[in-house]
Amino acid sequence: ARGAGPRGSGGEKGRGGGAGRRAALRRAAAAAAAHTRPRQTRAYPRNQLFSHWSVRGLSCGRTGSEEYFWLDQVVIHVGALSLKESQELARHAAEIGADGIAVIAPFFLKPWDKDVLINFLKEVAAAAPALPFYYYHIPALTGVKIRAEELLDGIQEKIPTFQGLKFSDTDLLDFGQCVDQNRERQFAFLFGVDEQLLSALVMGATGAVGSTYNYLGKKTNQMLEAFERKDFSSALNHQFCIQRFINFVLKLGFGVSQTKAIMTLVSGIPMGPPRPPLQRASREFIDEAKARLESLDFLSSTYLKDRNLESCS
Ligand SMILES: CC(=O)N[C@@H]([C@@H](O)[C@H](O)[C@H](O)CO)[C@@H](O)CC(=O)C(=O)O
Protein backbone atom coordinates (compact mmCIF):
# COMPACT_ATOMS: atom_id res chain seq x y z
CA ALA A 1 0.00 0.00 0.00
CA ARG A 2 1.08 3.54 -0.58
CA GLY A 3 0.80 6.54 1.68
CA ALA A 4 -0.77 9.92 1.09
CA GLY A 5 -1.53 12.68 3.47
CA PRO A 6 -1.56 16.33 4.33
CA ARG A 7 1.06 15.93 7.00
CA GLY A 8 3.01 13.00 5.67
CA SER A 9 2.03 9.42 5.12
CA GLY A 10 3.04 8.16 8.50
CA GLY A 11 5.54 8.59 11.23
CA GLU A 12 5.52 12.30 10.77
CA LYS A 13 6.99 12.68 14.22
CA GLY A 14 9.62 10.13 13.15
CA ARG A 15 13.24 10.62 13.91
CA GLY A 16 13.98 13.65 11.86
CA GLY A 17 15.25 13.77 8.30
CA GLY A 18 18.51 15.18 7.11
CA ALA A 19 20.75 14.14 4.25
CA GLY A 20 23.34 12.70 6.66
CA ARG A 21 20.90 10.33 8.28
CA ARG A 22 19.50 9.33 4.93
CA ALA A 23 22.93 8.63 3.51
CA ALA A 24 23.74 6.45 6.53
CA LEU A 25 20.44 4.59 6.20
CA ARG A 26 20.99 4.11 2.51
CA ARG A 27 24.42 2.62 3.16
CA ALA A 28 23.04 0.28 5.81
CA ALA A 29 20.16 -0.83 3.61
CA ALA A 30 22.44 -1.26 0.59
CA ALA A 31 24.84 -3.37 2.63
CA ALA A 32 22.00 -5.54 3.87
CA ALA A 33 20.57 -5.87 0.37
CA ALA A 34 23.92 -6.76 -1.19
CA HIS A 35 24.57 -9.30 1.54
CA THR A 36 21.36 -11.15 0.80
CA ARG A 37 20.86 -10.53 -2.90
CA PRO A 38 18.44 -13.16 -4.16
CA ARG A 39 18.67 -14.93 -7.49
CA GLN A 40 16.10 -13.73 -9.98
CA THR A 41 14.09 -16.93 -9.91
CA ARG A 42 13.70 -17.19 -6.14
CA ALA A 43 10.96 -15.59 -4.14
CA TYR A 44 12.18 -12.75 -1.99
CA PRO A 45 12.11 -13.56 1.70
CA ARG A 46 10.49 -10.63 3.47
CA ASN A 47 13.68 -9.23 4.99
CA GLN A 48 15.34 -9.08 1.56
CA LEU A 49 12.32 -7.35 0.16
CA PHE A 50 12.53 -4.78 2.97
CA SER A 51 16.22 -4.12 2.28
CA HIS A 52 15.65 -3.62 -1.42
CA TRP A 53 12.67 -1.36 -0.81
CA SER A 54 14.67 0.73 1.62
CA VAL A 55 17.54 1.10 -0.83
CA ARG A 56 15.16 2.23 -3.57
CA GLY A 57 13.06 4.37 -1.28
CA LEU A 58 16.03 6.21 0.14
CA SER A 59 17.63 6.78 -3.25
CA CYS A 60 17.67 10.25 -4.70
CA GLY A 61 16.06 11.60 -7.80
CA ARG A 62 16.68 14.98 -9.35
CA THR A 63 14.47 17.62 -10.94
CA GLY A 64 16.69 20.30 -12.40
CA SER A 65 19.14 21.28 -9.71
CA GLU A 66 16.96 19.97 -6.91
CA GLU A 67 17.64 16.61 -5.35
CA TYR A 68 14.80 14.71 -3.72
CA PHE A 69 14.23 11.31 -2.19
CA TRP A 70 11.73 8.90 -3.67
CA LEU A 71 10.07 8.28 -0.34
CA ASP A 72 9.91 10.48 2.74
CA GLN A 73 9.59 7.57 5.13
CA VAL A 74 9.82 3.81 5.01
CA VAL A 75 7.57 2.12 7.57
CA ILE A 76 7.90 -1.65 7.38
CA HIS A 77 5.08 -4.04 8.08
CA VAL A 78 6.52 -6.84 10.23
CA GLY A 79 3.31 -8.59 11.28
CA ALA A 80 3.35 -12.39 11.12
CA LEU A 81 1.54 -15.36 12.57
CA SER A 82 4.62 -16.30 14.56
CA LEU A 83 5.80 -13.93 17.27
CA LYS A 84 9.43 -14.96 16.72
CA GLU A 85 9.26 -14.24 13.02
CA SER A 86 7.70 -10.87 13.71
CA GLN A 87 10.44 -10.05 16.20
CA GLU A 88 13.17 -11.04 13.74
CA LEU A 89 11.63 -8.87 11.05
CA ALA A 90 11.38 -5.99 13.53
CA ARG A 91 15.08 -6.33 14.44
CA HIS A 92 15.99 -6.42 10.78
CA ALA A 93 13.87 -3.32 10.09
CA ALA A 94 15.82 -1.48 12.80
CA GLU A 95 19.15 -2.66 11.35
CA ILE A 96 18.37 -1.36 7.88
CA GLY A 97 17.23 2.01 9.19
CA ALA A 98 13.47 1.89 8.72
CA ASP A 99 11.53 4.90 10.02
CA GLY A 100 9.04 2.70 11.83
CA ILE A 101 7.36 -0.68 11.99
CA ALA A 102 3.72 -1.66 11.70
CA VAL A 103 1.99 -4.84 12.83
CA ILE A 104 -1.38 -6.44 12.10
CA ALA A 105 -3.09 -8.71 14.62
CA PRO A 106 -2.11 -12.38 14.25
CA PHE A 107 -5.04 -13.99 12.50
CA PHE A 108 -4.75 -17.79 12.80
CA LEU A 109 -4.65 -18.11 16.55
CA LYS A 110 -6.46 -14.88 17.19
CA PRO A 111 -6.13 -12.66 20.26
CA TRP A 112 -9.52 -12.77 21.97
CA ASP A 113 -9.34 -9.52 23.86
CA LYS A 114 -7.50 -6.24 24.00
CA ASP A 115 -4.95 -7.30 26.64
CA VAL A 116 -3.96 -10.41 24.74
CA LEU A 117 -3.48 -8.41 21.57
CA ILE A 118 -1.47 -5.72 23.33
CA ASN A 119 0.80 -8.36 24.83
CA PHE A 120 1.59 -9.69 21.37
CA LEU A 121 2.23 -6.20 19.97
CA LYS A 122 4.36 -5.29 22.97
CA GLU A 123 6.67 -8.25 22.40
CA VAL A 124 7.15 -7.29 18.77
CA ALA A 125 7.74 -3.61 19.61
CA ALA A 126 10.33 -4.60 22.23
CA ALA A 127 12.44 -6.23 19.51
CA ALA A 128 12.97 -2.80 17.92
CA PRO A 129 12.87 -0.49 20.93
CA ALA A 130 14.13 2.58 19.06
CA LEU A 131 11.59 2.42 16.24
CA PRO A 132 8.20 4.13 16.21
CA PHE A 133 5.51 1.46 16.36
CA TYR A 134 2.18 1.43 14.51
CA TYR A 135 -0.75 -0.92 14.95
CA TYR A 136 -2.33 -1.85 11.62
CA HIS A 137 -6.06 -2.31 12.21
CA ILE A 138 -7.64 -4.22 9.32
CA PRO A 139 -10.42 -6.38 10.80
CA ALA A 140 -11.96 -7.40 7.46
CA LEU A 141 -8.77 -9.29 6.63
CA THR A 142 -7.51 -10.41 10.04
CA GLY A 143 -10.92 -11.24 11.50
CA VAL A 144 -9.73 -9.60 14.74
CA LYS A 145 -12.50 -7.18 15.56
CA ILE A 146 -11.19 -5.68 18.79
CA ARG A 147 -12.14 -2.02 18.58
CA ALA A 148 -9.20 0.26 17.93
CA GLU A 149 -10.56 2.82 20.37
CA GLU A 150 -10.33 0.23 23.18
CA LEU A 151 -6.88 -0.85 22.13
CA LEU A 152 -5.54 2.68 22.26
CA ASP A 153 -6.73 3.21 25.81
CA GLY A 154 -3.51 3.22 27.86
CA ILE A 155 -1.42 1.68 25.07
CA GLN A 156 1.58 3.97 25.50
CA GLU A 157 2.12 2.78 29.06
CA LYS A 158 2.49 -0.74 27.69
CA ILE A 159 4.22 0.08 24.41
CA PRO A 160 6.32 3.23 24.89
CA THR A 161 7.24 3.39 21.20
CA PHE A 162 3.58 3.39 20.14
CA GLN A 163 3.24 6.12 17.55
CA GLY A 164 -0.08 5.60 15.85
CA LEU A 165 -2.52 3.55 13.95
CA LYS A 166 -3.31 2.57 10.41
CA PHE A 167 -7.08 2.28 10.48
CA SER A 168 -8.45 0.17 7.61
CA ASP A 169 -12.07 -0.17 8.58
CA THR A 170 -15.31 1.58 7.67
CA ASP A 171 -16.37 2.06 11.30
CA LEU A 172 -16.05 5.83 11.51
CA LEU A 173 -17.44 5.86 15.04
CA ASP A 174 -14.48 3.77 16.18
CA PHE A 175 -12.07 5.94 14.17
CA GLY A 176 -13.54 9.19 15.47
CA GLN A 177 -13.28 7.95 19.03
CA CYS A 178 -9.63 6.99 18.52
CA VAL A 179 -8.93 10.60 17.58
CA ASP A 180 -11.21 12.19 20.15
CA GLN A 181 -9.89 10.20 23.10
CA ASN A 182 -6.26 10.85 22.22
CA ARG A 183 -6.23 14.54 21.45
CA GLU A 184 -3.50 15.14 24.03
CA ARG A 185 -1.22 12.62 22.40
CA GLN A 186 0.67 13.17 19.17
CA PHE A 187 -0.46 9.94 17.54
CA ALA A 188 -0.55 9.48 13.77
CA PHE A 189 -4.00 8.43 12.54
CA LEU A 190 -3.51 6.97 9.09
CA PHE A 191 -6.72 6.08 7.34
CA GLY A 192 -6.97 3.09 5.02
CA VAL A 193 -10.37 3.18 3.33
CA ASP A 194 -9.59 5.28 0.29
CA GLU A 195 -13.22 5.86 -0.72
CA GLN A 196 -13.96 7.42 2.69
CA LEU A 197 -10.79 9.43 3.22
CA LEU A 198 -12.51 12.81 3.20
CA SER A 199 -14.81 11.80 6.06
CA ALA A 200 -11.79 10.59 8.02
CA LEU A 201 -9.92 13.85 7.36
CA VAL A 202 -12.84 15.74 8.86
CA MET A 203 -12.51 13.55 11.96
CA GLY A 204 -8.79 14.19 12.29
CA ALA A 205 -6.94 11.66 10.12
CA THR A 206 -3.32 12.81 9.81
CA GLY A 207 -2.50 10.76 6.72
CA ALA A 208 -3.59 7.82 4.61
CA VAL A 209 -2.23 4.50 3.40
CA GLY A 210 -4.11 2.64 0.71
CA SER A 211 -3.96 0.66 -2.48
CA THR A 212 -5.55 3.16 -4.86
CA TYR A 213 -2.95 5.86 -4.12
CA ASN A 214 -0.67 3.84 -6.37
CA TYR A 215 -2.69 5.05 -9.34
CA LEU A 216 -5.19 7.66 -8.09
CA GLY A 217 -2.54 9.61 -6.18
CA LYS A 218 -2.89 12.74 -8.22
CA LYS A 219 -6.65 12.94 -7.75
CA THR A 220 -6.23 12.20 -4.05
CA ASN A 221 -3.65 14.98 -3.73
CA GLN A 222 -6.11 17.37 -5.36
CA MET A 223 -8.65 16.37 -2.72
CA LEU A 224 -6.10 16.84 0.08
CA GLU A 225 -5.10 20.25 -1.23
CA ALA A 226 -8.74 21.36 -1.48
CA PHE A 227 -9.31 20.13 2.08
CA GLU A 228 -6.25 22.01 3.35
CA ARG A 229 -7.46 25.26 1.85
CA LYS A 230 -10.93 24.58 3.28
CA ASP A 231 -12.53 24.33 -0.15
CA PHE A 232 -14.83 21.53 0.99
CA SER A 233 -17.03 21.60 -2.07
CA SER A 234 -14.07 20.84 -4.36
CA ALA A 235 -12.74 18.28 -1.89
CA LEU A 236 -16.09 16.51 -1.99
CA ASN A 237 -16.15 16.54 -5.77
CA HIS A 238 -12.72 14.91 -5.85
CA GLN A 239 -13.80 12.31 -3.29
CA PHE A 240 -16.95 11.52 -5.29
CA CYS A 241 -14.86 11.14 -8.40
CA ILE A 242 -12.59 8.65 -6.62
CA GLN A 243 -15.67 6.87 -5.28
CA ARG A 244 -17.10 6.50 -8.77
CA PHE A 245 -14.09 4.45 -9.78
CA ILE A 246 -13.82 2.43 -6.56
CA ASN A 247 -17.55 1.72 -6.49
CA PHE A 248 -17.35 0.48 -10.06
CA VAL A 249 -14.46 -1.94 -9.46
CA LEU A 250 -15.84 -3.13 -6.11
CA LYS A 251 -18.93 -4.32 -7.95
CA LEU A 252 -16.79 -6.23 -10.43
CA GLY A 253 -14.81 -7.88 -7.61
CA PHE A 254 -11.76 -6.00 -6.37
CA GLY A 255 -8.71 -7.10 -4.39
CA VAL A 256 -4.95 -7.50 -4.64
CA SER A 257 -5.01 -9.18 -8.08
CA GLN A 258 -7.14 -6.42 -9.55
CA THR A 259 -4.93 -3.78 -7.91
CA LYS A 260 -1.88 -5.31 -9.58
CA ALA A 261 -3.65 -5.34 -12.94
CA ILE A 262 -4.67 -1.69 -12.64
CA MET A 263 -1.20 -0.65 -11.52
CA THR A 264 0.26 -2.41 -14.56
CA LEU A 265 -2.25 -0.68 -16.78
CA VAL A 266 -1.62 2.79 -15.42
CA SER A 267 2.16 2.65 -15.01
CA GLY A 268 3.12 0.33 -17.85
CA ILE A 269 5.33 -1.50 -15.34
CA PRO A 270 4.46 -5.22 -15.19
CA MET A 271 3.53 -6.03 -11.60
CA GLY A 272 3.56 -9.79 -12.11
CA PRO A 273 0.89 -12.30 -11.16
CA PRO A 274 -0.57 -12.57 -7.66
CA ARG A 275 0.41 -15.54 -5.54
CA PRO A 276 -2.05 -18.45 -5.09
CA PRO A 277 -4.66 -18.78 -3.78
CA LEU A 278 -5.25 -15.47 -5.57
CA GLN A 279 -5.95 -15.64 -9.30
CA ARG A 280 -4.99 -13.20 -11.99
CA ALA A 281 -7.56 -10.50 -12.73
CA SER A 282 -9.73 -11.54 -15.68
CA ARG A 283 -9.44 -9.97 -19.12
CA GLU A 284 -13.00 -8.66 -18.72
CA PHE A 285 -12.06 -6.91 -15.48
CA ILE A 286 -9.02 -5.28 -17.05
CA ASP A 287 -10.99 -4.06 -20.07
CA GLU A 288 -13.83 -2.67 -17.96
CA ALA A 289 -11.51 -1.02 -15.45
CA LYS A 290 -9.52 0.53 -18.29
CA ALA A 291 -12.64 1.94 -19.91
CA ARG A 292 -13.76 3.39 -16.57
CA LEU A 293 -10.35 4.91 -15.88
CA GLU A 294 -10.48 6.50 -19.31
CA SER A 295 -13.99 7.83 -18.90
CA LEU A 296 -12.98 9.45 -15.59
CA ASP A 297 -9.84 10.88 -17.22
CA PHE A 298 -7.55 8.84 -15.01
CA LEU A 299 -5.74 7.05 -17.79
CA SER A 300 -5.25 9.39 -20.70
CA SER A 301 -1.62 10.08 -21.50
CA THR A 302 -2.28 13.73 -20.77
CA TYR A 303 -3.28 12.72 -17.24
CA LEU A 304 0.32 11.81 -16.62
CA LYS A 305 1.32 15.22 -17.91
CA ASP A 306 -0.28 17.38 -15.28
CA ARG A 307 -3.71 17.71 -16.79
CA ASN A 308 -6.42 19.43 -14.85
CA LEU A 309 -9.02 16.78 -14.05
CA GLU A 310 -12.02 19.03 -13.64
CA SER A 311 -13.94 16.96 -16.17
CA CYS A 312 -14.38 14.37 -13.46
CA SER A 313 -15.70 16.71 -10.83
C1 LIG B 1 -9.09 -4.13 2.54
C2 LIG B 1 -8.09 -3.38 1.71
O3 LIG B 1 -7.45 -3.94 0.87
N4 LIG B 1 -7.95 -2.10 1.99
C5 LIG B 1 -7.01 -1.27 1.27
C6 LIG B 1 -7.71 -0.07 0.69
O7 LIG B 1 -6.78 0.76 0.06
C8 LIG B 1 -8.77 -0.52 -0.33
O9 LIG B 1 -8.15 -1.28 -1.35
C10 LIG B 1 -9.48 0.66 -0.96
O11 LIG B 1 -10.01 1.49 0.04
C12 LIG B 1 -10.60 0.18 -1.90
O13 LIG B 1 -11.67 -0.37 -1.16
C14 LIG B 1 -5.91 -0.81 2.23
O15 LIG B 1 -6.45 -0.26 3.40
C16 LIG B 1 -5.04 -1.98 2.60
C17 LIG B 1 -3.80 -2.00 1.81
O18 LIG B 1 -3.69 -1.31 0.83
C19 LIG B 1 -2.66 -2.82 2.21
O20 LIG B 1 -2.62 -3.35 3.30
O21 LIG B 1 -1.75 -2.94 1.41
Spatial distance between the Cα atoms of 98 and 128, rounded to a whole number of angstroms: 10
At residue 127, the pLDDT reads: 98
Catalytic residue from among 134, 136, 215, 303: 136
* Long-range contacts, 66-72 (Cβ 8 Å, 24+): 69/22, 72/8, 72/9, 72/17
At residue 21, the pLDDT reads: 61
Does 12 score more than 90 pLDDT? no
At residue 15, the pLDDT reads: 42
- For 250-294, write each residue's pLDDT tens digit: 999 999 999 999 999 998 999 999 999 999 999 999 999 999 999
Burial 255-278 (b: 16+ CB within 10 A, else e): eebbbbbbbbbbeeeeeeebeeee
At residue 161, the pLDDT reads: 98
> pTM here?
0.85
Ligand 1: list residues with CB < 6 Å.
Answer: 1, 140-141, 168, 192-195, 210-212, 246
At residue 24, the pLDDT reads: 64
Q: Does 213 qualify as catalytic in the annotation?
A: no
Q: How far is CA 187 from CA 11, 78, 162, 249, in A?
A: 9, 20, 8, 33
Spacing of C-alpha 72 from chain mean position: 13
Nearest Cα residue to atom 19 of ligand 1: 1
Q: How confident is the model at residue 118 (pLDDT cuts 50, 70, 90)?
A: very high
Question: pLDDT exceeding 90 applies to what percent of the chain?
Answer: 70
Q: How far is CA 87 from CA 67, 77, 78, 109, 151, in A?
A: 35, 11, 8, 17, 20
State the complex-level ipTM. Answer: 0.97
Does 302 score more than 90 pLDDT? no
Does 217 score more than 70 pLDDT? yes
Q: What is the mean pLDDT of residues 104-123?
A: 97
CA-derived radius of gyration, the chain: 20
Cis peptide before 277 (omega within 30 of 0): yes
Q: Which atom of ligand 1 is nearest to the CA of 259?
A: 9
